[in-house]
Each structure stands twice: as structure tokens, then as C-alpha cells.
């Protein structure tokens, strides 16, 4: 059997993009090729029902909330997310258990002969492997997070029981379009005829596109903030309590659902939690009832590292994977709300294709900037980061690595200070690993490549 490290090298060595480039043009996908691949693999995506989640902000968090709720309800639940934080294995989980290295290697051996005559991209191959892993493990329901966009995403071959589209913002414009309406149109591609769709809070332009697409496909629309509403109760650095009001009485649930708890900070997570609850409610008439107790226990057990994760309190260190203007706004708002003031120091590193200037403009004038480049091919260099900051009239410090940036930032902030690390999931992962090692905590599994 192929070694785990060799299996990863094979997957990462496949074409890395959904778009096929010829000598004359870029040809967009239509999922037909991937459907052919899946058919030749025995159609593993048809072995289980699913919940399908798209969006710009909150799709990962919402997926990470729905999965433990279903597990607590007694269903063997698959969870497929991307990208990963520390190890590839995080992407594919069953009942909270990551796929093993041996299973990854075995499944690469399984798919490799078919890929030899039916080409696929890295993400398509990983998605097919996730489907097959769920089939082999007897998954009863899978929670599938869209990788990019929606319409042409590899996950969009499923016909789910319910779809969820969380808040939409400006990201991946080089692929999805330069306007909110265009991006919303791509996300709306997961809406299927007759399948109910839960919408997170949306800007007016995006909401109009989503509502029209759902109407044309006879998909029942469920809107959080309108049909399902939430009310914050209290918050600390360990999480938030809130109440949710449903549009009608749910089977087995009181209405309102009072004093719910999630171990996540940030007011925006309450909207994500409400979307997760609304999606779970849609599963009851489809043969997947969830008790109130399972709902509460699932929410309370959500684990979503590097998403406004509080690592320590003296000085405060919060690690987040915010990489868009909107998500940076949400992170800064969460720090202000939770700790009562803005961060003293921000450790920042971003991919070169992101709106770095837009994100840096959001940084409070009193916050110091420390730049570092994550060890990833897409990461922007610190000299370029400093140049953008200088053009905005901001001073900054540059460190050779996220590890050194962490030490510098914590020392600069002082015992009563607040340090926030954000800008990309790659930076968040390296800062998190550095802190765990510094604090003599168990290190997360890490891939050999």
C-alpha cells in the first residue's frame, strides 16, 4: 500500500484548479467530467443523504455545528470541510474522528487507477475519496462544505435534503465574479429543485439573487434573521449564551429555544448557529428527527480551532483565520465585544490574491502591526505587506516567521495586552502550532509533506 506521505504528494500533484487551461483559453468546468469519474468509481456520493453548505463567511462554522448535533442525535455523521488547518485528515471526519493515515493511503490506491484514464483535479479527487470513506464507514448523513463558489464545486454533485447558504461577501473574485450579484449567483448554484434552502443574513444585492434563484427552482426559502431569529443573552471569552425563536413550533422543541450555548466567540457565530438549527429542523420531516437535548449537546460540543480561538489570557492571544474584509471586521468586533477594547497588536499574514489593503484599512489606528509570511506558496512576502501598510500611513514590524512574530507580539503587548493573529488559515495554523509548543501543550497531528 502507498505510504501516507506519498498519497498526499500524489493528490497535491494533480491539477490544482477547477478551470482547465488550453493554449487559447480558460475552459470552465461543468461537473460532467467529475460525474463521469464518480460513476466509474461506483457513485459513492449516492450512498448517503446530505446537508450542503455554501457561503463566503460562516460556512465552515455552520458545518462544524450541524455535524455534532446530528452525531449527538445518534446518526453516524460524516463531515467534509476545507481547507485544513494542520493536517489533511481534518477534512474528512466521521462522528468527529478524523480519517486515518492508513485510510487515506488505501483510498488513494483505490482512486488512482480510475484517475489514470478519467482525469480529475486535486479537490475532485479528495471529494471522491471523502464520499467513498463515508460509504465504507456506513455514514447515515453527510455534512458537506462547499470548497469554492457552489455552481461548479465538486460537492455540487449531491442532491441534499437541505441546503444552507451563509453570508456572502467579496472573495475569490478572480473566479466567482467582481460583483456581489455575480458571486451570489455562483453560490446559488447549490440550490436544487424542491430542496429547502436556509439563508444566513445577506446584503440586499445578494439576497435578491438568492431569493429569485430559489423561487425559480421551487425551493422553499428559510431566512435567518426573519423566519428564525436569535437573541444574545451573555458572552465571555469561553463562549456565548443565546435564545432562538422559530417561525413555528418544531416537533419536540420548545419555542423559543432558550439559553443555548456555543463555545465560540463573536456575535456573527450566533447567526451561524441559528442557520445550523434551522437546517437541522428541516431534517425532521425527512426522517432525521433531532431531540432538544441532542441539539443543545451538539452546539455545546462544537470545536472549530483557529476561528476566534482564545489561546491564553495573560496577555490575551486570539487566533483567527479571517482572510476577507468582512471577516476581519467580524474578528475585530468580536475582540472589542468580548474583551472590551481593540487588540494592542495584530499578527498579520495573507495570501497574495487577497484584498490586503482592504483588510489593513480596518485595523484600529492604535493597534500595532506585526507581519509574517506563512510557509505557503501563496503567502505574500513581508516586504510587500510592509509596503502596502506604508502606503496607508501605517508603521509595522516584520518578522522572519509566524513563530518569531508570536514571541515579538506577546512581548510587545505586555501581560495585560491583547494579541490577535489573522489574515489567512496558513498563518493561523503556524501561530497556533508555535503557541502550543511554547505552552508545552500537545501538538496537533501534522502532515509529513
The pLDDT tens digits of the residues spanning 212-251 come to 999 999 999 999 999 999 999 999 999 999 999 999 888 7
Spans of all domains in the chain? 4-300, 309-438
Question: To 5 degrees, how large is the angle CA 364–CA 366–CA 368?
Answer: 90
CA pair distance 68, 52, nearest whole angstrom: 15
Q: What's the pLDDT band for 21 if we cut at 50, 70, 90? A: very low
Question: Which pTM value belongs to this model?
Answer: 0.94
DSSP per-residue letters across 193-248: TT--EEE----HHHHHHHHHHHHHTTPPEEEBTTTBEEEEEEEETTEEEEEEE-SS
Helix (H) or strand (E) holding 54: strand 50-54
Longest dimension (CA), the chain: 61
CA pair distance 428, 321, nearest whole angstrom: 6
Q: Are strands 316-319 and 418-422 parallel, antiparallel or unpaired?
A: parallel
For range 84-93, the mean pLDDT: 97
DSSP per-residue letters across 368-430: EEEE---SSTTBPPHHHHHHHHHHTT---EE-SSHHHHHHHHHHHH-TT-EEEEES-HHHHHH
Helix (H) or strand (E) holding 37: helix 32-40
Return the sign of the alpha-carbon dihedral for residues 226, 227, 228, 233. positive
Residues 412-443 have pLDDT tens digits of 999 999 999 999 999 999 999 999 999 999 99
Question: To 5 degrees, how large is the angle CA 308–CA 64–CA 351?
Answer: 50
Q: Does domain 309-438 have CATH number 3.90.190.20?
A: yes
* CB neighbours of residue 110 within 10 Å: 15
Q: Closest Cα partner for 324 from 210, 183, 146, 124?
A: 183
Task: Tell me which fold the domain 4-300 belongs to.
Answer: 3.40.1190
Mean pLDDT in the chain? 94
CA pair distance 14, 1, nearest whole angstrom: 19
pLDDT of residue 24: 47
Residues 311-351 have pLDDT tens digits of 999 999 999 999 899 899 999 999 999 999 999 999 999 99
Residues 97-119 have pLDDT tens digits of 999 999 999 999 999 999 999 98
Same CATH topology for 4-300 and 309-438? no
Amino acid at each position: 500500500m502507498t505510504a501516507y506521505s506519498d498519497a498526499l504528494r500524489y493528490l497535491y500533484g494533480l491539477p490544482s484548479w477547477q478551470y482547465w487551461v488550453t493554449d487559447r483559453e480558460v475552459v470552465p468546468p461543468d461537473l460532467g467530467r467529475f460525474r463521469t469519474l464518480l460513476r466509474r468509481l461506483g457513485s459513492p456520493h449516492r450512498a448517503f443523504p446530505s446537508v450542503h453548505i455554501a457561503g463566503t463567511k460562516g460556512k465552515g462554522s455552520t458545518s462544524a455545528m450541524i455535524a455534532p448535533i446530528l452525531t449527538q442525535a445518534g446518526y453516524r455523521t460524516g463531515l467534509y470541510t476545507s481547507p485544513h488547518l494542520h493536517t489533511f485528515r481534518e477534512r474528512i471526519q466521521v462522528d468527529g474522528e478524523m480519517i486515518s493515515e492508513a485510510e487515506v493511503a488505501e483510498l488513494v490506491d483505490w482512486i488512482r487507477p480510475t484517475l489514470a484514464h478519467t482525469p480529475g483535479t486535486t479537490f475532485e479527487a479528495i471529494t471522491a475519496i471523502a464520499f467513498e470513506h463515508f460509504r465504507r464507514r456506513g455514514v447515515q448523513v453527510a455534512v458537506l462544505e462547499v470548497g469554492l463558489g457552489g455552481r461548479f464545486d465538486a460537492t455540487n454533485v449531491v442532491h441534499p435534503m437541505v441546503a444552507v447558504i451563509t453570508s456572502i461577501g467579496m472573495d475569490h473574485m478572480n473566479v466567482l465574479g467582481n460583483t456581489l450579484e455575480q458571486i451570489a449567483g455562483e453560490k446559488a448554484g447549490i440550490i436544487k429543485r424542491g430542496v429547502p434552502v436556509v439563508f444566513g443574513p445577506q446584503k440586499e444585492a445578494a439576497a435578491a439573487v438568492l431569493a429569485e434563484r430559489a423561487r425559480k427552482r421551487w425551493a422553499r426559502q428559510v431566512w435567518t434573521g426573519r423566519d428564525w431569529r436569535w437573541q444574545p443573552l451573555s458572552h465571555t471569552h469561553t463562549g456565548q449564551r443565546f435564545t432562538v425563536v422559530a417561525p413555528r413550533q418544531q416537533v419536540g422543541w420548545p419555542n423559543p429555544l432558550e439559553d443555548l450555548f456555543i463555545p465560540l466567540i463573536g456575535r456573527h457565530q450566533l447567526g451561524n448557529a441559528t442557520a445550523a438549527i434551522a437546517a437541522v429542523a428541516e431534517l425532521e420531516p425527512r426522517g432525521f428527527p433531532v431531540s432538544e437535548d441532542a441539539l443543545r449537546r451538539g452546539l455545546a460540543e462544537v470545536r472549530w480551532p483557529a476561528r476566534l480561538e482564545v489561546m491564553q489570557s495573560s496577555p490575551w492571544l486570539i487566533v483567527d483565520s479571517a482572510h476577507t474584509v468582512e471577516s476581519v471586521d467580524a474578528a475585530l468586533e468580536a475582540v472589542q465585544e468580548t474583551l472590551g477594547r481593540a487588540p494592542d497588536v495584530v499578527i498579520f499574514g495573507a495570501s497574495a490574491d487577497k484584498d490586503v489593503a482592504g483588510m489593513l484599512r480596518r485595523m484600529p489606528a492604535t493597534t500595532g502591526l506585526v507581519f509574517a509570511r506563512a510557509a505557503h506558496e501563496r503567502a505574500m512576502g513581508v516586504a510587500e505587506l510592509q509596503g502596502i501598510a506604508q502606503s496607508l500611513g501605517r508603521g509595522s514590524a516584520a518578522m522572519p516567521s509566524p513563530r518569531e512574530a508570536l514571541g515579538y507580539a506577546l512581548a510587545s503587548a505586555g501581560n495585560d495586552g491583547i494579541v490577535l493573529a489573522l489574515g489567512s488559515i496558513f498563518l493561523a495554523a503556524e501561530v497556533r502550532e508555535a503557541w502550543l509548543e511554547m505552552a508545552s501543550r500537545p501538538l496537533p497531528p501534522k502532515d509529513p509533506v
